[in-house]
Chain A
Amino acid sequence: MIKRIFCLIFFVSLVLLLGLAVKGDKSATGTGIAYQTGHNTQVSGPYEASNSTSRYALTEALVDNHTIFLNDELAAFASPDLVQFNGKYFTIFTPGVSVIAAPFYALGKVVGFPQLFAYFTINLFAIFNVFLIARVAYRLGASFYTSLLSGFLFLFATNALPYSMTFTQHHMSVTFILLMVLNSIEKRSFLRNIMFGVLFGVGILLDIPNIFLAFPLVIYVTWKHFELHHIGEKIKFSLSLSVIGLAIGLLPMVALFGYYNYLTTHSFTMLGQTIGRADAFQSDLAKQIDAAEQRREEQQNVDKNQKESSVASPFSTRRQLLGLYLLLISDERGWFYYSPVVIIGLIGLWLAFRQKETQPLAVNLIAIILVDLMTYSMFSDPWGGWAFGPRYLIPATAVACAGIGKAVTHFRRDFLVLAAFIILAAYSVYVNGLGVMTTNSIPPKVEAESLNKPIPFTYTYNIGLVEQGTSSSLIYHLFAAKYMNVQEYLNFFYGVTGVIALGLLALIIYEHTNV
């Protein structure tokens, strides 16, 4: 009972803390909130990146115009993540995020806050992920409070935080992958398999690479249906027919996706992405960015002849050295640079791997991390465009954070390790707090340096914005700005985050001393 009450308090704390960072601003005239009526794409606003606006445009089109196609205004808003085919515009992304958020958008329209409500969908998924990670951490052998700490640090000490305020696929993908993880470790049944199939299918509708990320789980779950017994001089092979449930769950989602493709590209199997971006509404800045991206490709030295001889694939093993460097250690997007607290999580996963009871789960989690790393290290744009931290690694981050609980539980009496953990966690919170309170749009190095007015390519850009007094927080603009400057507001945010994290840590130590 106490734990349930604690969970409720924890949930409310999460909502309030996350609420401090929700993006928005007063309109220039001082009436209403500008972003809910207009399509202002200025830096630090909720519409600052086209990976949000393109999806949001589809949500608007679905609810307002009852179509999946974008009119000129929405197409311009979605550009450059826009596809033009047969004279019609549609988003380059899969429709999952936009469809899931549509009811929230419609509800928001009723009360006059469509953008806030639509984006709130992502906030909800982010908070849900905290509890899912806690659940996974618990299954890995972490204690109750360390499990919650795992989830908390995922949301507040990694770039999952800034991406909880965007209209992107990351948090939803994490949710469905974690649900699949939890589903996969249960005993197989027909209904559970249908559910797994549905989760996998929705995952694909959210983002195509989820096929790769969830693939180890698909194989694991499928494999669990096969049995082999030695009976005397015979060997008995069995296949549980409940495996059909996987297909039954998956097929409707695949059919839905096929139908969406058919409507957009006139082919059940052709994805919008394969057609390429439309440049009809590109702004001067976007064109400048495109030119810079081209320069970046040249500097990447993806060999021309190799390019010509290759099948059109966004993935190439040649890029892996650069990709892994960028995604793991670089100051541009490095995992360990932006959220070094995941190191503790990885140690926790290794500890879980070493224990027989938790080994199957740990193997699946390690597989997800490796697949995520391998996939995006081969990707043509491991930076994730203008982004904050390694946004493509957010699913791997979630999985790695599940190991934090295990590691902290294991090292709870080792104050040296705990001190290192606190330092890494504090640094991670600091960095990602900067992101969520200002902007996610940090260019890759080569693009930042190629701009007419070069800007920093690390989170020092965000530090600069804070020093200039730029904040993306709606609460700050609406209420707090009267009483404090941006830096003080950020410190307040850090303070509350720190209190919750240290509170959980104290409870862990208390819990174990009592045991």
Chain B
Amino acid sequence: MNIPTFKLSFSLPSAPLRKAQTFLERHALLIITLVLVAISIRYWIYFYQNGLGLAYNDARSHLDIGRRVVEGLKPGLAQLGSVWLPLPHILMAFTIWNDFMWHSGLAGALESMISFVVTGILIYKILEKLKVGMLGRVFGVAVFVLNLNILYLQSTAMTELLLIATTTAGVFELINYHEKEDILSLIKSAFWIMLSTLVRYDGWFLFLYTALLVVIRAWSRKGYKMSEGVFILFCTLGGFGIFLWFLWNAAIFKDPLYFAFGPYSAHAQQDQLAEAGVLLTKHNLWISLQTYWYAMVFNSGMFPLTAGMIGAVVLWLDKKIPLRVRVATTALTAPLIFNILALYLGHSVLFVQNINGNTWFNVRYGIMMIPSFAVFAGYLLKRLKPLQWTIIGIFIFVTVFQFVSKDAVTIDDGRVGSSQKNVTEVSTWLHNNTADKNGFILISAASHDAIIFSSGLPMKKFIHEGTGTYWLSATSDPDRWARWIVMRTNDLNDQTFKLVKKSEAIDKYNLVDSYPFADIYELKPEYVPQLQTKPLFIDKSL
């Protein structure tokens, strides 16, 4: 039976369509930027409203560090501290003076949000450089953006997105340099990598790795003399942040390596974990590999990770791309090498379920490879053109399920893993019982920054390690300075307890409440009249 086929047809003049196409291509970056901004704001509001934006203990600490720079008993740059690198807190300082910006977490999230948008743009630009078509570029951006872990962390005051943005910018300029060999790109690359070295120690490894790539490139093209010059140029700017950090530690803590070996350093923490026998990755390459593999899978998702890995191999084997550019793109794998090395050497701790029992800790480190996978997946789309709609379709398919099942390991890490700290009870007590009374609260910021943040009290209400003379006075004579003491009784890791214990003034306090994370002591009424309740010391520090 022959049934005639009817067609619904219409014609459009091609000129306006071509114009529209040209417009879209010309303004693609602007459109993508606007979309990313909208997504970024929408998700910040979402996580602000459901309270998850401040779930991470570290997010609250970062915000407190930023706040202490501008407000407190002893505000100033010295409050930037020694353990965490300073750039995120310096950037926060511009907005964190505002109480809403502080307590909503927006002061910290803002830099993550900007970094999110910038990274999306950079992924687009890198793929453009690799001559990937519009669809592949947009797909690469989508792999990065349509990831709940990325969307969550961009809504928090954590440092991952800032690190991702600065490292991706550094690698982008490095690719530019390898392609065009212009010194300006090299300087730009060094600048961004310098910034990344001031965000997290991952940046330090990237600096070393990229310096090596730069030397190899210069040497292979122009010999030793030239490579020496290029190396010095690159390292002078790229390593400037590291130099400043050494200098800072020497100036403030009288030890340039204080950040590495001080009492609050990661090294000290890892030593404790190693002693407790839970640092399984230390000197065990297989478990280190396995741990980071799991972290990457849980953060990226199995499909984007697989597409990214295949894309990387396809890219590195593609002889149509100059070898020097392919070599430069290996810098995208720096986070992978760094994290495995850090775990193996015992400088980093990462717990994932199935390896470390039933808990999460720092699993967000696995997020660092997502921009790389996004770039490689975008490239894969270019090379597997006949399969591109299949790849896109399956990506949409799994992404829909990621969003439907709200699968974000970083949220679990922040909510129920070891990275969370529910201090609501103790901070609520402080808020309800100290806000309208005179007197300071003695507390260790190193141990209880989350309590300080969650109490909603002004920073100047607290005497902590960063308050210099106040801290020294209050820990030696607590009853003269502190109306309340918050500490973990009998825990020598809590600096307040460690020092107050020696003063024997604790008898002058009543234990008013006891919580899982801290006990609250209040000065007995008969000692209150002698108490100092106003700031006394003139700040002469930085």
Contacts and interface: CB of A to CB of B under 8 A. Distances in A.
A238 B13 contact: no
B302 A320 contact: yes
B409 A318 contact: yes
B234 interface: no
B177 interface: no
A321 B15 CA distance: 49
B338 interface: no
A360 B406 CA distance: 35
Interface in A147-204: 189-191
Contacts of A321: 294, 297-298, 302
Contact of A216 (B303, B393, B411): B393
A73 interface: no
B184 interface: no
Interface residues of B, number: 42
B412 A310 contact: no
B390 A320 contact: no
Interface stretch (B84-92, B315-323, B325-333, B396-404): B396-404
B358 interface: yes
Interface centre among A212, A305, A306 (most CB of B within 10 A): A306
Interface string A207-241: 00000100110010000000100110111111111
Contact of B12 (A219, A234, A367): A234
Interface stretch (A370-378, A423-431, A471-479): A370-378
A359 interface: yes
Contacts, number: 129
Nearest to A220: B389
A305 B416 contact: yes
Interface centre among B298, B397, B401, B405 (most CB of A within 10 A): B405
Contacts of B415: 305
Nearest to A230: B14
A367 B302 CA distance: 16
A182 B1 CA distance: 20
A315 B405 contact: yes
A306 B397 contact: no
Given A316-B407, A377-B302, A240 B7 contact: yes
A301 B393 contact: no
A213 to B, nearest CB: 11
Contact of A235 (B14, B354, B358): B14
Contacts of A324: 302
A240 B5 contact: yes
A244 B6 CA distance: 11
B527 to A, nearest CB: 44
Contacts of B13: 233-235
B3 interface: yes
A110 interface: no
B345 to A, nearest CB: 26
Contacts of A231: 11
Contacts of B394: 367, 370-371, 374
A119 interface: no
B409 A216 contact: no
A72 interface: no
A37 interface: no
A283 to B, nearest CB: 32
A317 B390 CA distance: 18
B302 A237 contact: no
A236 B10 contact: yes
Interface string B1-38: 10101111111111101000000000000000000000
Nearest to B384: A353
Contacts of A371: 394, 397
A278 interface: no
Mostly helix, strand, loop or mixed at chain B's interface? helix
A216 B301 CA distance: 21
Mostly helix, strand, loop or mixed at chain A's interface? helix
A320 B405 contact: no
Contacts of B353: 301, 303
A366 interface: yes
A345 to B, nearest CB: 17
A324 B1 CA distance: 47
A313 interface: yes
Nearest to B391: A370
B386 A363 contact: yes
B387 interface: yes
A235 B3 contact: no
Interface string A347-386: 0000001000001100100110011001101100000000
A266 B193 CA distance: 63
A311 interface: yes
A309 interface: yes
Interface string A414-450: 0000000000000000000000000000000000000
Interface string B283-297: 000000000001001
Interface centre among A234, A353, A377 (most CB of B within 10 A): A234
Nearest to A324: B302
B9 A237 contact: yes
Nearest to A212: B397
B14 A309 contact: no
Given A236-B10, A242-B6, A313 B405 contact: yes
A43 B393 CA distance: 41
Contacts of A238: 7-9
Interface in B420-475: none
A184 to B, nearest CB: 14
Contact of B390 (A190, A234, A235, A370): A370
Contacts of A353: 386-387
Nearest to B296: A321
Interface in B350-364: 353-354, 358
B9 A306 contact: no
B11 A237 contact: yes
A233 B301 contact: no
Given A190-B5, A191-B3, A237-B11, 16 more contacts: A212-B397, A230-B14, A234-B11, A235-B11, A235-B14, A305-B415, A306-B411, A313-B404, A317-B405, A318-B409, A320-B398, A321-B294, A363-B390, A366-B387, A367-B394, A378-B401
Nearest 10 A-B pairs (CB), nearest first? A320-B302, A241-B6, A301-B353, A316-B405, A238-B9, A367-B390, A317-B402, A234-B11, A239-B8, A236-B11
24 contacts: A190-B5, A215-B393, A216-B390, A216-B393, A234-B14, A236-B11, A240-B7, A241-B7, A242-B6, A301-B354, A303-B353, A306-B406, A310-B405, A311-B404, A316-B407, A317-B407, A353-B386, A353-B387, A363-B387, A363-B390, A370-B394, A371-B394, A371-B397, A374-B398
